[in-house]
Amino acid sequence: MSKLTVMLAASLLLVSCENVDKSMHDQNYAKVEKVARIPAPVGAVPILGSKVKIDYAGADPAKLTAPYPLDASAVARGERFYGIYCVPCHGASGKADTKIAAKMDVPPLSLVAEHAVKELKDAEIFLKIVASDSIMPKYRAELDDNEAWDVVAYVRELQKTAK
Ligand code: HEC
């Protein structure tokens, strides 16, 4: 078979595909779904529950406050998430005295030492959790906004009770 015959046969095949029933493909809803999602602006109040994940990269901590008081019930909820996501590096006491911490080139900071983290604003700790862009990984995929604020409450509690 010459190259030309092959090309002809191929183009005939392509043309015949035009006649395949495309009614499913051409339905309106398929097109509507292709519209890009509009990301929620920083500070927007989620109306679909806190499961809506805002991208806080570069957000200004001065414009962020906890949406509810970081009280005893927030501390209690935060303890669980702290135990899952923070203990491996920062330790149960917050002193970053874990085996993993000892092996890291850039060690995790003590969360309860007199300076540094104690002096951070709530919003700065919140942003570290959901939008860390340095050695520490961010936990945006794992924690929604309220869960991250609960962790902030627990870190504050650790600082209050640190020995
Ligand atoms: C894989 C280890 C690791 C885990 C897990 C981890 N961190 Fe960190 N964290 C670090 C390291 C390393 C630093 C210091 C370098 C940096 O800022 O990235 C740090 C720094 C911090 C700081 C100080 C930020 C600052 O601006 O000084 C805070 C607050 C903090 N972590 C909170 C948390 C909380 C809360 C969690 C749990 C949600 C957590 N970290 C989980 C490694 C970790």
Mean pLDDT of 61-78: 96
Between CA 132 and CA 163 the distance in angstroms is 27
Max Cα–Cα distance, the chain, nearest Å: 86
The more confidently predicted of residues 41 and 89 is: 89
Q: How far does residue 110's CA lie from ligand 1's centre (Å)?
A: 9
Atom 12 (ligand 1) nearest CA: 108
Instruction: Tell me how crowded residue 61 is: count the other CB atoms within 10 A of its CB.
Output: 16
Q: How confident is the model at residue 122 (pLDDT cuts 50, 70, 90)?
A: very high
pLDDT exceeds cutoff 70 at 28: no
- Atom number, ligand 1, closest to the C-alpha of residue 152: 35
Mean pLDDT of 15-24: 62
pLDDT exceeds cutoff 60 at 129: yes
Between CA 119 and CA 115 the distance in angstroms is 6
Quote the pLDDT of residue 30: 54
Pocket lining for ligand 1, CB < 6 angstroms: 85-86, 88-90, 104, 106, 108-109, 111, 116-117, 120, 125, 128-129, 132, 134-137, 139, 151, 155
Cβ–Cβ < 8 Å for 90, 96: yes
Q: How confident is the model at residue 41 (pLDDT cuts 50, 70, 90)?
A: confident
Q: How far does residue 100's CA lie from ligand 1's centre (Å)?
A: 13
Q: How confident is the model at residue 32 (pLDDT cuts 50, 70, 90)?
A: low
Mean pLDDT of 126-155: 95
Q: How far does residue 19's CA lie from ligand 1's centre (Å)?
A: 59
Both tokens assigned to 52: 């809506």
Q: How far does residue 152's CA lie from ligand 1's centre (Å)?
A: 12
Mean pLDDT of 63-82: 96
Task: For residue range 73-118, list pLDDT tens digits in order.
Answer: 999 999 999 999 999 999 999 999 999 999 999 999 999 987 788 8
Mean pLDDT of 27-41: 67
